[in-house]
Amino acid sequence: MAVNSEHNQEDQARDHTNTAAEHPITTDTPPVETPPWASALRDLYQQVVEEPLPDALAELLARLDREDE
């Protein structure tokens, strides 16, 4: 019985390999048209990222860093 079990495992492994070779995974995606609002959203995000950190938040982060030490 052990021989059949080993043989079946080899067949399953071989079948899996063949299936993967016949159907490779691709990452190609069709080009997507950029919606008209995308550039405005990107600009808004960039403005938020460039805003200075509020003093109260900076102080809180500094206090938390000191507590970690």
pLDDT of residue 38: 95
pLDDT of residue 23: 65
Q: Looking at the predicted structure, is the pLDDT value of residue 25 above 80?
A: no
Q: What percent of the chain shows pLDDT beyond 70?
A: 65
Within a domain: residue 64?
Answer: yes
Within a domain: residue 29?
Answer: no
Within a domain: residue 56?
Answer: yes
Residue showing tokens 């995308």: 38
| Segment 37-64, tens digit of pLDDT | 999 999 999 999 999 999 999 999 999 9
Q: What is the pLDDT of the chain when averaged over all its residues?
A: 79
Domain that residue 66 falls in = 38-69
Strand (E) positions, 1-69? none
Count the domains in the chain. Answer: 1
pLDDT of residue 5: 52
Alpha carbon distance 47, 56 (integer Å): 20
